[in-house]
Amino acid sequence: MKRKMLLISLFSLLFLIALLAGCGSSKNQVAEGDNQSVNQADHDNGVSQGYSDGSQSGYADGKKGVNNPQAHPGSGVSAEFAQGYAEGFANGYEDGYTKAVSEAGSGNDQSSQEKAAAETAMLSFVKSNAVPGLEFQIKNIVIHGDEAAGIAVCTSEKLENALVLMKKDASGWHGVDFGTGIDAPSWYSY
């Protein structure tokens, strides 16, 4: 559904750009507008392709019980496409992974599903609070009631491992703290 909406939006945007291109501007203004619309179109195409690839990758990883999003837009693409691809891939991966884990239902016990949901939320929390471009894996996840803890291991650079603390409420898992200088809860043994 998201993909259809994105494609409809993209085609609508391109149609409006085509209509507005001949509205009495000087040649420089038209060329500038065309360049911006090409950049936006590259970004939008990147989002669409990234979402599709991310969804497939996340679904496959979810079936294997692995959560390791790796966005690769390919070589020779524009910066706008690569940026859009990374955004789309992250969203698609999360959706695909969540779908695979929920479909597994009877194949996984409740604790495995809960652990996978906590891991997905931890990765999202870590990435949103870390330097852009860094990739992480979450290890040693422990769930204790409505709290969870794990270790964020950077896979793209050599960095110190960081503790991730999460809390669960009616809407799901939410980040509480992330870093190297925080104290682990007494129930976390790693």
Domains and CATH numbers, the chain: 1-108 (no CATH), 110-190 (3.10.450.630)
Global confidence as pTM = 0.44
Helix (H) or strand (E) holding 172: strand 172-179
- Residue from 123, 127, 130, 131 nearest 166 by CA: 123
Predicted confidence at residue 2, as pLDDT, reads 62
Strand pairing class (147-154; 136-144):
antiparallel
Residues 168 and 174: beta-carbon distance below 8 Å:
yes
Predicted confidence at residue 14, as pLDDT, reads 63
- Give me the DSSP letters along 114-158: HHHHHHHHHHHHHHHHS-TT--EEEEEEEEETTEEEEEEEESSS-
What amino acid is encoded at 62 in this protein?
G
Residues 86 and 69: beta-carbon distance below 8 Å:
no
Residues 166 and 174: beta-carbon distance below 8 Å:
yes
Cα separation, 161 vs 91, in Å, equals 25
Cα separation, 121 vs 138, in Å, equals 10
Residues 50 and 85: beta-carbon distance below 8 Å:
yes
Predicted confidence at residue 153, as pLDDT, reads 92
Predicted confidence at residue 50, as pLDDT, reads 86
Cα separation, 163 vs 181, in Å, equals 8
Predicted confidence at residue 164, as pLDDT, reads 94
pLDDT along the chain (190 residues), means of 10: 62 62 50 69 87 87 77 86 88 84 59 86 91 89 90 90 92 90 86
Predicted confidence at residue 73, as pLDDT, reads 83
Residues 6+ apart with CB under 8 A from 76: none
